Structure 1
Amino acid sequence: MTDTTTASSQTHRLFGQLTFDMANRRLCCNETCLYLEPRQYQLLICLLASNGQPVTRDQLIAQAWQGRIVSDGAINRAVSMLRKTMAKLDPNGQYIETLPKLGYRLQPAVQEIATPPGGGKPILTIKPKLKLKLRFATAVALCAILTILVLIWLIPSQPALPVSVVGMAAPHTSFDGAEVDISVDIGGSSLLYHRQASNGNSQVWLNTLANNLHVALTPASENSAFASLSPNGQQAVYARYNQQQCELVLLDITTLALKHLTACTLASTLKIQWHPDGNRIYYRQRTDNTKPYKIFQLNVRTGATRQLTLPANSYSGLGDLALAVSAEGVLAVGRYLAPNSSLLLFLNAETGELVQQQQLDIAIRELAWHNAQLLLSDNKRLYYYHQQQLLDAYQSADPIQSLAVSANAIFFSSVEQRSDIWRQDASGQLTPVINSSRLDIMPRIANDGRQLAFLTTREGEHQLWLKDASGTERLLAELPGTPSFARLSWSADDSQILLAKDDALYAVSLPEGKVSLLLSAEKQVAVVNWANNDQGVIYSSNRSGDWQLWLYDLLSGTEQQLTQQGGYSGQLWQGQLYFTRYHQDGLWRKSLTDNDEQLVLAQFDKINWLNWQLDDGVVHYYQPNEGIYRYHLASHQQELLLAEMPGFVRHFSIWQQDIYFVKQPPIQGDIYRLSLRQN
């Protein structure tokens, strides 16, 4: 099968009631258009090019996945998503036929449509013998066209962009594993990135773009991460890890000589950006995983460091996550507000003084300047920020991990997000339980052990699914609010699941999956657990200025504050509150009638807020770099139940002797290139 992407880039295709705008990746029906994700786009290209003939799975893999190994489930889901897109535009149409043991076929006949000069709406190419029949219809249509033109003139047009993306992203790397944390020099001659060595360490690699030569700059024996290439391509700054210590070092690309710059914290997932003058770097860092990220400036010549951003005292989010510095000395910062809300800040890059800010309804993951044009990424989508508006630039098939821009191209690294749910039984045998080839997370086993609730992205966004005793998996409920992660908790009688999301509290009833609001977002709900035999809910909230625990009575609708000195995740047992704190390690205990608090278990990491369990005087919890432990409150005995393994994710649920946990296979991902055009 030939690739028709380039050959047909100036044409449209008509099939059934749908029109395919190949140049702009749009599928339209009448006046309604939808943008296709890259994978859907490539699938449709394959089906259109087949001219009504069957398209095999091997052909789809070669075209839409560039020959990469993918499961049948991944192909089925991709075709299903394309079908759903078509059904949104034409609910009555049947467009893609499944041919058992053969593949797929596009059912309607396909007509090619010429695109008029200037990029206007497609006009069907008409043979001469049909023109006479259409003269009257054309005259009538002219009046309608003139009316539309007047309306278009009256409606404000979208602001013109100085640059725009041309065509589809082309794969730039295809190594086994993932190439991440990319950066490029201003001239676009060299690309820096990380790859994982066979021993598990991260290495810095340099790609010379002229000859596509890839060279490792750091040895496999050294664990290095978060590198950033200088504007002139002659130096790089990265974080080097050695014996539980982190330092930022300056690397000379030519001589490989190293210079110590400053210490960095182990709790930080760093991001480093160079100032275009090549003398300073900017990086995000936090003191520990309960504190927000802040932006720092460092002079690479003198080593002088200063903090530039400081969120307000009332701020309790993740902090300043994305940053980019322009040649004009403007520091753009993306600050986390909520799962799908960010504050875009523009600061003086020298002083940190705030120049402008705007709240955006996206989660800003990456920022990059192209001259004076700002690019933003939100998971899989790229935007231009232009005249205080977000304009679509591109949508990736997989989440965008990092972003770099040269004079005429955008480079981005994209990673496939996948995790599976496993079970370890009493004998220690490991068995995969949920495996959809997407993200399967947050396992929650019911109290009778017969049902497993979990979150999955198998249909695109996070959804709440259920697996019953027969092994049947089904969608239980769509998550309310904006698409994002949620926290789950079973009721004692297994009839409901608590769901905390977007600062609000919901209950999902079984078996029908009805979602009911219990507490609105103004309560700022974070972690929830059932209490008092399902007649109450214990939840944490920071609405008082710090994280405290509250008891909400479902029958009376009244609330009681349970902690005064901090509380983040709490459970009741024998009339006592056992709880964790947000800023401090340890498991604590107190009665509900006084404020006398006792430390029960000191070696209890604060990261346990999400998954620790308390069942009949037995606590199950996770200890970083060790695994899952069981602790008996009466005897103080402690035992390791599941040793941490490669790919282990801190989501787990325990029923009797069975441990359900999340494990992530080695990440796969590549670097892609998008061409830019000056408008």
Structure 2
Amino acid sequence: MKYHQKSRYTDANVSFTIGKIQVSPGKEQLSCSDKSIAVQSMSIRLLCYMARRKKALVTRDDLRKHVWQNEETADHTISQHIYRLRQTLKTLDDNRQYIHTVTGSAGNGYRLLADSREIKQTRAKPAVFFARAWAFCLSLSNHNRAGYFFAFLSVMLLGLAGYGYYFSAASITQVTYLQGRERNAAISPDGKTLAYSYQSPQSPFWTIYLQSMTADQPALAITRAPMPGGAMPDGTMPDETMPDETIPDETRKPEQTNRHGPFVFDNYPAFAPDGKSLSFLRYHRDVQAFYSVDIDPLSIKFKQETKLLDVNFYDVHAKLKWLDDESFIFNSKVARKAPYKLYRFNTGSGTKTQLTSPPLGGAGDKVHELSPDKKHIAIIRSKKDGQYLYLYSLLQQKLDEIAFISKDQRYGISWLDNKRIVFLNQQGYLTTYALDDKKFSTYNQLKNPGFSPVKIPDTDAVLVQQEWSLRENGANIVSTSNPRVAASTGFTPVIPSASYSRLPLWTGNDSLVYSVVNADKSHDLMRYRQQVSVPLMHFKSYQSWPPRLSWRPDSDEVLVNINQSCFLVNLITTQSRQLCPDEISPALSSWSLDGQWLYFSLPKNGEWPLMRMHVSGATLEPVGLDHVEIAKEGPDGNLYYRRKNSLDIYRFNHTDKASSLLIERNYKLGFATNNDFHITAAGIYFTDLKNRNSGLYFYDFLADTRHKVMTRPSYFESFSISGDEKQFYFSQPKNRDSHISILR
């Protein structure tokens, strides 16, 4: 088969194999033995084209012309897709190489090393049948063609009518329209009122909104953010004289700053059985609790909220589901690495009863939902090796494991009725489980219709949300000139938002290192230079956010903190080596200016002393500072650091060994980072939230003053600066809008 001939591999209904792996273009899925992985359509197109070419050399120009169909496609874009495709193939079959990179006098490009074979179909599918029938009609003589043609037309119209009914039954209609992000929907028992958590583009905080599903009324905010992100529920704007939001060190709870930075929200709404009150989780800096507010579903009005139950500091994903008028089921955990457990709480007596005991090592019972008749709880339990479906009988007080359903987290589960559960499976399809016959079936054929399904009572419709997290929207890396030393240029994209790219780090020689968080929560560490991105490391992590990075000065090495250790990655050879001993796992670290010492703090009797370790890993010694989060060495030889559970920046004088407060900061957003401030000879660049604006600031050593440099492009607090201080690099979300839809 010559590559320019029409190939069956371009048919979405034709599956084929390459080596041991089955390629299903129609499903956008790769399979091997009992493993299946959903892939991007571009990966399928790549494999289809390379399968057509057999084992011939495929150049990048070939791929631009036949796969991307765009001559402007950059080399690094092709390289990244090939790299990810290789990783996927390796996950399914790690015993052989499938794609080989070819270099030399014969040409540069890629070659598929495995044989490809079409999988014979037992019967033609409708699209294939129509095409073949039409070709048959065209092949007939004029005398016979008319009769066959009308027969074919009748069959085709009947088929299309059936398909039209199917597709109309699997349509998606958007139902929320606020500018910003909307998720975690709840529906009232009568199906007429919708509640959800909402974040305005101008605010980092989440509030609860209510809207009618039947009347043409505007959505109404029924809770308010602790800091302004728009009008309050009464329609007024917040008081501009709001006091300083910084929390004194002595009042902070453990790891409040470095663990749960952005988690200031009202979230996870749930209607009471009578539909006349709405409960939700409030996670603010001074309170973590379930609250309830009385509402009037007819007029969409509400009254003063009341506290139901305090939860633990680590319960950022705690959810409640009402069992009856006085009791509810909720999940909670007692420590950061402890699993979520299910409890029953009675509001009248104040008694709490534990229902489940998940094993250590996973997130536990993070997702749960009560059946309409309140007899069962459907649970998605997160273990070390993936997600499992469980069923808890409230009558028998018995927990049963049903099945392994997904390797990665797919949030959300709902009940279609008292006997059927619906959830999103590993491949991205809504799947049902029937309690009676204990069988799984596909709810419909729409792939990735949305996350967190919620059944609308007395209908066949399901609510879904567009995003699981902001990662679904993508993020790019942008650069801008430093207004202190050069004319402003505005924010220019450096890394496009085809993926979730975070944490740009300038590493000398006009290069950047950044992290890509994939849909399955795996990570790719990439180096960008001269408009080309090269993969450095691919790894799985128990964390869903990007790893911390720090460049070793005057070297070709970058340090990455992952999986309870730290590794040095060579930017040229892409080889990595473990630097930190197994018993040492620093969360944040930084290098001395000469690149010979690594600074980090370690837990020791709650004191968190600052240590430094030689680049050889042979020497580990204390510096003489306690309660340190992250410390950086300045050109003057002094150390500049954040205290544990503090946002402020201190200076440690290396001569007299004394510390002094240098910069007071307001509430910081985002996860802990080692790149929210940078030391230069003249001062310190740092991020802050001042007067409700997210900005980049500069502290001048000589003048002992601070001033705003620019507004940041996002609430991501990590940033980087070039060696000549002329360029800043930030992460920027691609799109902050996401909505809730009805799937029928």
Contact 1:181 1:401 in 2 (8 A): no
Q: Residue deviations 1:334-358, cap 9 Å, x none?
A: 54966xx661211232336351332
Name the Cα RMSD after superposition.
5.2
Q: Is the 8 A contact 1:40 1:79 kept in 2?
A: no
Amino acid at match of 1:650: E
Separation (CA, whole Å) in 1 of partners of 2:330 and 2:232: 25
Aligned with 1:649 (options 709, 713, 716): 716
Cα gap change, 1:240/1:506 in structure 2, threshold over 3 Å: closer, same or farther? Answer: closer
In structure 2, list runs of 5 or more residues that go unmatched: 1-11, 54-62, 69-73, 100-114, 124-168, 236-244, 246-261, 295-302, 392-399, 406-423, 429-446
Contact 2:463 2:742 survives alignment (8 Å): yes
Change (3 A) 1:661 1:206: same
Q: Does the alignment pair 1:349 with 2:345?
A: yes
CA contact (8 A) 1:40 1:82 kept: no
Q: Residues 615 and 183 (structure 1 numbering): CA distance in 2 closer, same or farther, change over 3 Å?
A: same
Which protein is richer in strand relative to its size? 1
Instruction: Report 1:455-466 matches (<5 A).
Output: 455-457=515-517, 461-466=522-527
TM superposition shift of 1:273: 3.3
Which one of 728, 736, 740 corresponds to residue 659 of structure 1?
A: 728
**What are the Cα deviations for residues 629-674 of structure 1, in whole angstroms up to 9, with x where unaligned?**
22222332434322234x4532211121211112223324344667
Say whether 1:499 aligns with 2:560: yes
| CA–CA distance in structure 2, aligned partners of residues 549 and 530 of structure 1 | 13
Tell me which amino acid in the other structure corresponds to 2:224. Answer: A
- The answer (yes or no) to whether the contact 2:647–2:664 under 8 Å persists in 1 is yes
Contact 1:330 1:346 in 2 (8 A): no
Deviations, residues 304-362 of structure 1 (Å, cap 9, x unaligned)? 42543235xxxxxx543231325264533254966xx6612112323363513324655
Tell me which amino acid in the other structure corresponds to 1:629: Y
1:632 paired to 2:696: no
Q: Residue 514 of structure 2: which of 454, 458, 461 is its match? A: 454
Aligned to 1:417: 473
Distance in 2 of aligned mates of 1:654 and 1:36: 38
Shift of 1:37: 3.1
**CA distance change for structure 1 residues 538 and 182 in 2, over 3 Å: closer, same or farther?**
same
Q: Contact 2:182–2:739 (CA<8 Å) still a contact in 1?
A: yes
Change (3 A) 1:384 1:185: farther
Deviates more, 1:615-624 or 1:324-333: 324-333
Tell me the TM-score normalised to structure 2 length.
Answer: 0.59
- Give 1:496 deviation, angstroms: 1.8
Following TM superposition, by how much is the alpha carbon of 1:419 offset from its aligned partner in structure 2, in angstroms? 1.5
Say which SS state the counterpart of residue 710 (structure 2) adopts.
Answer: strand
Equivalent residue in structure 2 for 1:391, among 404, 410, 431: 404
Conserved in 1, the CA contact under 8 Å of 2:173 and 2:743? no
Shift of 1:452: 0.9
- What secondary structure sits across from 1:463 in the alignment? strand
Describe the superposition over 1:540-595 as per-residue Cα deviations: whole angstroms up to 9, x where unpaired: 3445336553333445432316433x321111233422111243342112245876
Change (3 A) 1:496 1:89: closer
Partner of 1:284, secondary structure, is strand
For structure 1, which runs of at least 5 residues remain unmatched after alignment?
A: 1-7, 62-70, 95-105, 115-167, 219-223, 225-236, 252-264, 312-317
Identify the residue that residue 558 of structure 1 maps to in structure 2: 620
Aligned-partner Cα distance in 2 for 1:401–1:455: 24
Distance 1:401 1:544 in 2: 42
Are the structure 2 counterparts of residues 13 and 429 from structure 1 closer, same or farther at C-alpha, using a change threshold of 3 Å?
closer
Tell me how far apart the structure 2 counterparts of residues 540 and 628 of structure 1 sit (CA, whole Å): 26
Deviation at 1:429, TM superposition (A): 0.5
Q: Name the residue aligned to 1:538.
A: 599
2:121 is aligned to 112
Taking a change above 3 Å as real, the CA distance of residues 543 and 199 of structure 1, as seen in their structure-2 partners, is closer
Distance 1:280 1:437, change over 3 A: same
CA drift of 1:33 comes to 2.5
How much has 1:363 moved relative to structure 2?
Answer: 5.3
Residue 623 in structure 1 maps to residue 688 in structure 2 = yes
Quote the residue 1:474 is aligned against: 534
Match of 2:709, as an amino acid?
L
Q: Does 1:578 align with 2:640?
A: yes
Which residue does the alignment assign to 2:316?
A: 320
Tell me the TM-score normalised to structure 1 length.
0.64
Contact 2:43 2:81 in 1 (8 A): no
Distance in 1 of aligned mates of 2:571 and 2:76: 28
Q: How many residues align?
A: 536
SS of 1:616's equivalent in the other structure is: coil
Aligned to 1:518: 579
8 Å contact 1:240–1:248 — kept in the other structure? no
Aligned AA (2:219): L
Tell me which residue corresponds to 1:67: none
Whole-Å separation in 1 of the counterparts to 2:604 and 2:526: 31
Question: Hey, what's the Cα distance between the residues in 1 that align with 2:660 and 2:539?
Answer: 37
C-alpha distance in structure 1 between counterparts of 2:625 and 2:449, whole Å: 39
**CA distance, structure 2, for counterparts of residue 188 and residue 23 of structure 1:** 35
Letter of the structure 2 residue corresponding to residue 346 of structure 1: L
Q: Contact 2:341 / 2:364 at 8 angstroms: preserved in 1?
A: no
User: 1:441 offset after TM fit, Å?
Assistant: 1.1
- Asked if the contact 1:195/1:205 (under 8 Å) is kept, the reply is no
